[in-house]
Amino acid sequence: MDFSSFLTSLGTSFVIFMVLMLLFAWLARKPGNSVIYYPNRILKGLDPYESGSRTRNPFAWIHEAMSSTEQDVISASGYDTAVYFVFLSTVLGILVLSGLVLLPVLLPVAATDNGVKIVSTTSNGTFSDLDKLSMGNVKEKSSRLWAFMLATYWVSFVTYFLLWKAYKHVSGLRADALMSPEVRAEQFSILVRDIPPVPEGQTRKEQVDSYFKRIYPESFYRSMVVTDNKVVNKLWEELQGYKKKLARAEAVYALSKKTGKPEGARPTNRIGFLGLIGKKVDSIEYYNEKINEVTPKLESEQKDTLREKQLDAALVFFSSRVAAASAAQSLHAQMRQVRQYVIYIVVALTILFFMIPIGLISALTTLENLKKYLPFLKPIVDLDAIKTVLEAYLPQLALIIFLALLPKLLYSLSKAEGIPSESHVVRAASGKYFYFIVLNVFVGVTVGGTLFSTFKSIQKKPDTLPDLLAAGLPLNATFFLTFVALRSFVGYGLELSRIVPLIIFHLRRKYLCKTEAEVKEAWRPGDLGYGTRGPNDMLIFTIVLCYSVIAPFIIPFGVVYFGLGWLILRNQALKVYVPTYESYGRMWPHMHTRILAALILYQVTMFGYFGVKKFYYAPFLLPTIILSLVFGFVCSKKFYRFFRDTALEVACRNLKETPNMEQVFRSYIPPSLSSEKIEDNQFEDAVSQVSRSTSFV
Amino acid sequence: MDFSSFLTSLGTSFVIFMVLMLLFAWLARKPGNSVIYYPNRILKGLDPYESGSRTRNPFAWIHEAMSSTEQDVISASGYDTAVYFVFLSTVLGILVLSGLVLLPVLLPVAATDNGVKIVSTTSNGTFSDLDKLSMGNVKEKSSRLWAFMLATYWVSFVTYFLLWKAYKHVSGLRADALMSPEVRAEQFSILVRDIPPVPEGQTRKEQVDSYFKRIYPESFYRSMVVTDNKVVNKLWEELQGYKKKLARAEAVYALSKKTGKPEGARPTNRIGFLGLIGKKVDSIEYYNEKINEVTPKLESEQKDTLREKQLDAALVFFSSRVAAASAAQSLHAQMRQVRQYVIYIVVALTILFFMIPIGLISALTTLENLKKYLPFLKPIVDLDAIKTVLEAYLPQLALIIFLALLPKLLYSLSKAEGIPSESHVVRAASGKYFYFIVLNVFVGVTVGGTLFSTFKSIQKKPDTLPDLLAAGLPLNATFFLTFVALRSFVGYGLELSRIVPLIIFHLRRKYLCKTEAEVKEAWRPGDLGYGTRGPNDMLIFTIVLCYSVIAPFIIPFGVVYFGLGWLILRNQALKVYVPTYESYGRMWPHMHTRILAALILYQVTMFGYFGVKKFYYAPFLLPTIILSLVFGFVCSKKFYRFFRDTALEVACRNLKETPNMEQVFRSYIPPSLSSEKIEDNQFEDAVSQVSRSTSFV
């Protein structure tokens, strides 16, 4: 890629962004679209245009986002979202503080050294105009390299400082949330998976009850043995489906009465494959029949599940928050179930070995290969205008599409590990995704590029990973520069304008939705999706960090990415997305670890690069790596346990009211088991026998 | 070293062992020596010769050791000793089961392949007669190598199987100990180091009391803020020293009355340096004076310590075992003190960088270097007989002496880390010692030997650690064979005969001891010393395991080492050593991890060695390494937490009697603070104000 196609790509991205932003300003003012641009406020029962964004200038949302406080974010979107903004501002802070020193110092130092004859490496994806401003322009063994080494130290210390501050801040946020005087059901219940073996002559439930009653005589409320709900869930969903379809058919019938003949047209459907073949039946009658057929099945299965399908786990309810926090941290059985860990390992190994072929495939989707293997595309691809655009975008586009498809797969694999909570599954999938993209995209592109290209400018044949990375980075600077710009402008432009959800919503409302519930489902906004957002941000951060000293002009691109991200997501968090769970910042330690991992990768790469530059003092960088490891260890000791366990200091704060334990308990009964028809005493098979009236403390 | 000097060394070792054993049989029968050979029994108030070992044949102790049960060991020497025997028998089992398959299979497979022309490598410390029986005798790329690969798998599976069984067994032992109905003070008290910060207007003690009273209203008894006792301990020891010296002077005076003049000769001493110079004074008067001088100082310092020198830690006492177990596992403060971890890291880094020069020095102490640098030794060293013995022993002897000096250093360094409990310090020092000796001795000798010697028999220049290890192992077989034999025969011979403690005891009793207390101190046996014994055993095990497939004839040597060790230590545990602390097998997970680490080192080495042999199927060994990691992970998940925390299932068993909390509490007051003269209420400064009469549950 030459300089002009780089500018083309940059310019196009920016224009797209401006267009999308104006589109947003125009579309968001139309009342019919308010469910797309303000669903969070609507679901909360607030006026979407409360702050006047409809009448004021089209950029009012920027002011609103800038002036919102952390408390606003927490009340609109919960603690997890607030923690996500801590992540964004920490990373932004690292890049800004680094840039403030690195740009004015390193660019002149590099540009005024003319010792290296620039080898034309256009074909490898770099170009000489920017090369002059990078570390590649400095002579080997030059004493100017000291400036670059000090810059590496500066970036490291800035990172330590901001990470420490952020961890402390998030820890405080979490403490605030956990010591809140509100009664939160999850603070009164724990999931116990290491129940001691059942003694003879007792049922699992009796054992759980007597065991916990003995240890927590004052605060034990009752227990609920976890059951295998696979079959009952399926039946329940079937029933819900029929109920929805019945409602829909009735709505259609009612509508036809108004618009057509007064007696109406009774809707019909076919009962064969996908409703396309088979006998035609009257829909209302058919679904009523089906509902009457499934309901007794569900009821008997509910009884069966509660009685026969108990698992080796139980939810235990406590009437005191401190007791629950303490019980959650205690080891109950001398030996623990390891089945889940075995599955965990098997899945992890599968993914690891799965990544290698996928990584290779993604590396081969370049324009040249496309022409070679799909020759019918050649005439189109060879048109000059299209070629420039394709050359600028294709590799990045392929990458982005591939990365968009991966998370779903990783999510379901993580679920297969048997992790019990939604937030934990997301964290596990997110971790896999992060390591996958850093390994395959960043390291893969860099090392792959180096291995496939000639070693013109490097005399020494590199043979270790840091050396390969170090040699490959300068050759791929433009690729990543374009990648970051694309993600900033097009990615966040689409995010802000919500063009895709808007179109889908209008199409669904017009052609598919018949009932109010269906319309509501069509605009339901979903959550911010930290699981994929976090790793993608981390990829950008890793790239910018690793290039920060080698090619400092990448830093402004990183600042734009995270600055825009902060601004636009602030808007989305306040007005659009609705959190699906709340883990009180439980994901922060993982984010922290990954930022630190990126820093260590950067330090190792720099060590390798100083080696490539034959700088004798390269080993002076080793202390930074050791320091990073020590920093990580100290942070984990100081803060981590509070994110795993609730400190009793925090849990022992007073509550506003006595918890309604009956309500807490009810909130844990899965909908598939809580039919109105089932008598309460049927639960006694899986839940404890403790009389509620006496154990209410 | 040639074959004859190997046999000399082996023969000498064995003769020494036989002599020491006979000496033991003879010496142990003399009643005057019973305090050396039966101190454990004597301290327990048992008849040392109960089982008739005095009258029966000199090998009766063997029968006694063999027929003793695990329960005998526990009652004589505690749970930690029993766990140590689990370690010995597990390792012995691994070697026996491996040897039963490897010896009959691999020796013929190796011996009948004559493809490799044996290169004379005498100067490198190996010899051709045994080489024929080793894997070195098998042709490159030979399909006979499959037998060796299967053998590697067999050894791995034997290890997994026995380790799993042992972990389960030790876990059961620990559970038995912890659920015992005896009241044990340490089960009712916990050390809390993460106390939340003190709110304004409260003292540390008030805060600790109100905090724990709030969380454990039923079972909190009282607390004791930990104080900095450095000064008070010093004063107390000074006082104890004067008291001992006074008692000694009085004993000397009383003796002189009996033996010399009836009015006696009052003992005198000089008060200058080491009692050698300075004014001569009357000892009894002088020490009485000193005692009167120090006592008030100590008393005022005691008050001062309790009031002014409180630290950020407290001992908290509970009247219920379950509450204590649960409190010990709970996180109390939101943020935790990290000073201790920082010190930990600093010390660990110091040791790491300290190891490298020490390792190099130990590698250079060979006979050749001795002659070179200490030329005056040359005439002696060149005598043929001495030369043979020296050549056989010198490197091993240097190693053993060096290793004997190291543990004390590591112990004091571990103490400097600020670890609060004795058993934990021993574990920490033991871990450092293990990694030190495996790194420096095993890897150092092997790799060092390879690097310094020529690469005659290996075409390919190895450049990674596994390759270096693989190339180096065959060259150093004899060195390690001699080392293991020396340790078995001379080491355990000395252990059994207790010649050194016997001589020291008799010398001290004759020339130094004047009072009964001094005599008792002279024969006090000490404990088994897992801290150094474990790592040394592990070194032997690592060596034997790594050679097991390459040179299977090393296995019998390993079996002899651990068999003898089991037998002789059983005798010592039953009759000699007295444990100084009891951690209920808390060290087992570390032993487990180290056995596994040795196994992984072995698998990596074998992988390298198959590479050296150009065996294309070498990658088929990689699954064993992954399997070992998975096995370790699963074990740690299943068992480890029970060794860190007490399972409530275990702690909730009934007690034989209501604990006497006053007594439990008193047992934690350090002797330097528990003078009879100090009124109980003075403790109130550092201990809680809870009235004892009411909180007694």
What pLDDT score was predicted for residue B361? Answer: 56
Q: What is the mean pLDDT of residues A288-314?
A: 86
What pLDDT score was predicted for residue A439? Answer: 73
Of B211, B218, B641, the CB nearest to A336: B641
Assess whether B498 and B624 both reside in one domain: yes
A156-185 pLDDT per residue, tens: 999 999 999 999 999 999 999 988 888 888
B411: in domain: no
Chain A positions contacting chain B at CB under 8 Å are: 168, 171, 175, 196, 211, 214-215, 218, 322, 325-327, 329-336, 338, 341-342, 345, 349, 626, 630, 633-634, 637-639, 641-642, 645-650, 652
Q: State the nearest Cα–Cα gap between A558 and chain B, in angstroms.
A: 33
Cβ contacts of B650 on chain A, cutoff 8 Å: 334
User: Which residue in chain A has the smallest CA separation from B633?
Assistant: A341
Put simply, the answer to whether A338 touches B637 (Cβ < 8 Å) is: yes
What pLDDT score was predicted for residue B377? Answer: 67
Cβ contacts of B175 on chain A, cutoff 8 Å: 334
C-alpha distances out from residue B612 to A237, A456, B444, Å:
61, 34, 20
Among residues B95, B97, B158, B161, the alpha carbon closest in space to that of B563 is found at B95
Q: A630, A648, A650: which to substitute to probe chain B, counting the most B Cβ within 10 Å?
A: A648
Assess whether A397 and A481 both reside in one domain: yes
Of B214, B332, B338, the CB nearest to A647: B332
pLDDT above 50 (res A691)? no
What pLDDT score was predicted for residue A74? Answer: 92
Look up the domain containing B88 and give its range: 5-181+459-646
A563: in domain: yes
Gap between the Cα atoms of A194 and A352, Å rounded: 29
Gap between the Cα atoms of A388 and B507, Å rounded: 96
Cβ contacts of A352 on chain B, cutoff 8 Å: none
Element containing residue B282 per DSSP (H, E): strand B280-282
What pLDDT score was predicted for residue B152? Answer: 95
Among residues A651, A637, A578, A638, the alpha carbon closest in space to that of A190 is found at A651
Token readout for B407 is 């543990």
Cβ contacts of B417 on chain A, cutoff 8 Å: none
Q: Are A314 and A223 in contact (CB under 8 A)?
A: yes
Assess whether A677 and A639 both reside in one domain: no
Q: What is the mean pLDDT of residues B270-278?
A: 73
Assess whether B64 and B44 both reside in one domain: yes
Assess whether A244 and A121 both reside in one domain: no
Q: State the nearest Cα–Cα gap between B650 and chain A, in angstroms.
A: 7
**pLDDT tier at B121 (50, 70, 90 boundaries)?**
very low
- In order, the DSSP letters of A459-515 are -S---SHHHHHHHHTGGGHHHHHHHHHHIIIIIHHHHHH-HHHHHHHHHHHHHT--S
What pLDDT score was predicted for residue B407? Answer: 81
**Residues of chain B above pLDDT 70, percent:** 81
Q: A179, A215, A650: which to substitute to probe chain B, counting the most B Cβ within 10 Å?
A: A215
Helix axes of B555-575 and B60-67: crossing angle, nearest 10 degrees = 90
Assess whether B577 and B484 both reside in one domain: yes
B89: in domain: yes
Question: Could you tell me which residue, A240 or A696, shows the higher pLDDT?
Answer: A240
What pLDDT score was predicted for residue A448? Answer: 60
Gap between the Cα atoms of A37 and A523, Å rounded: 10
Of B325, B335, B646, the CB nearest to A171: B335
What pLDDT score was predicted for residue B602? Answer: 92
What pLDDT score was predicted for residue A693? Answer: 32
Among residues A190, A171, A345, A107, the alpha carbon closest in space to that of B638 is found at A345
What pLDDT score was predicted for residue A663? Answer: 83
Token readout for B578 is 């007295």
Cβ contacts of A177 on chain B, cutoff 8 Å: none
Where among A306, A327, A361 does a domain terminate?
A306
A594-629 pLDDT per residue, tens: 999 999 999 988 888 888 888 888 888 988 998 999
Element containing residue B227 per DSSP (H, E): strand B220-227
Of B332, B338, B638, the CB nearest to A637: B338
Of B322, B332, B345, the CB nearest to A215: B322
Cβ contacts of B324 on chain A, cutoff 8 Å: none
What pLDDT score was predicted for residue B609? Answer: 86
Chain B positions contacting chain A at CB under 8 Å are: 168, 171, 175, 196, 211, 214-215, 218, 322, 325-327, 329-338, 341-342, 345, 349, 626, 630, 633-634, 637-639, 641-642, 645-650, 652
- Rounded to 5 degrees, φ, ψ at B191 are -100, 120
Cβ contacts of A648 on chain B, cutoff 8 Å: 215, 330-332
Q: Are A141 and A616 in contact (CB under 8 A)?
A: yes
Q: State the nearest Cα–Cα gap between A179 and chain B, in angstroms.
A: 11
What pLDDT score was predicted for residue B398? Answer: 66
**pLDDT tier at B330 (50, 70, 90 boundaries)?**
confident
Put simply, the answer to whether B329 touches A330 (Cβ < 8 Å) is: yes
Which ipTM value was assigned to this complex?
0.74
Cβ contacts of B171 on chain A, cutoff 8 Å: 334-335
Cβ contacts of A650 on chain B, cutoff 8 Å: 334
A287: in domain: yes
Gap between the Cα atoms of A506 and A512, Å rounded: 10
Put simply, the answer to whether A329 touches B331 (Cβ < 8 Å) is: yes
pTM: 0.80
What pLDDT score was predicted for residue B683? Answer: 55
pLDDT above 80 (res A401)? no
Cβ contacts of B325 on chain A, cutoff 8 Å: 330
Q: Are A522 and A509 in contact (CB under 8 A)?
A: yes
Assess whether B237 and B325 both reside in one domain: no
Q: State the nearest Cα–Cα gap between B647 and chain A, in angstroms.
A: 5
**pLDDT tier at A542 (50, 70, 90 boundaries)?**
very high
Question: Could you tell me which residue, A215 or B418, shows the higher pLDDT?
Answer: A215
Assess whether A453 and A519 both reside in one domain: yes
Cβ contacts of A641 on chain B, cutoff 8 Å: 331, 336
Total domains in the fold of chain A: 3
Q: What is the mean pLDDT of residues A313-333?
A: 87
Cβ contacts of A333 on chain B, cutoff 8 Å: 647, 649
What pLDDT score was predicted for residue B18? Answer: 92
User: Which residue in chain B has the smallest CA separation from A637?
Assistant: B338
Gap between the Cα atoms of A602 and A442, Å rounded: 12
Q: A165, A198, A216, A331: which to substitute to probe chain B, counting the most B Cβ within 10 Å?
A: A331
Put simply, the answer to whether B649 touches A333 (Cβ < 8 Å) is: yes
Put simply, the answer to whether A334 touches B652 (Cβ < 8 Å) is: no
Q: State the nearest Cα–Cα gap between B569 and chain A, in angstroms.
A: 30
When the pLDDT of each residue in chain B is averaged and rounded to a whole number, the result is 80
Of B637, B647, B652, the CB nearest to A331: B647
Gap between the Cα atoms of A7 and A463, Å rounded: 35
**Residues of chain A above pLDDT 70, percent:** 81
A331: in domain: no
Put simply, the answer to whether A642 touches B331 (Cβ < 8 Å) is: yes
When the pLDDT of each residue in chain A is averaged and rounded to a whole number, the result is 80
B422: in domain: no
Put simply, the answer to whether B336 touches A633 (Cβ < 8 Å) is: no
CB pairs under 8 A between A and B: 113
Among residues B389, B431, B424, the alpha carbon closest in space to that of B407 is found at B431
B514-553 pLDDT per residue, tens: 777 888 888 888 888 888 888 889 999 999 998 899 889 8
What pLDDT score was predicted for residue A351? Answer: 64
A258: in domain: yes
Q: A208, A334, A417: which to substitute to probe chain B, counting the most B Cβ within 10 Å?
A: A334
Q: Are A358 and A440 in contact (CB under 8 A)?
A: yes
Question: Could you tell me which residue, B139 or B90, shows the higher pLDDT?
Answer: B90
Token readout for A506 is 């209008």
Assess whether B13 and B155 both reside in one domain: yes
Burial class (CB in 10 A: 0-12, 13-18, 19+), A244: middle
Cβ contacts of B350 on chain A, cutoff 8 Å: none
**pLDDT tier at A126 (50, 70, 90 boundaries)?**
very low
Assess whether A98 and A147 both reside in one domain: yes
Cβ contacts of A327 on chain B, cutoff 8 Å: 326
A470-498 pLDDT per residue, tens: 666 776 777 788 888 888 998 899 888 88
Assess whether A253 and A369 both reside in one domain: no
Assess whether A627 and A673 both reside in one domain: no
pLDDT above 70 (res B64)? yes
B245: in domain: yes
B436-492 pLDDT per residue, tens: 777 767 776 676 655 555 444 444 454 566 666 666 677 677 778 888 888 899 889
**pLDDT tier at A399 (50, 70, 90 boundaries)?**
low
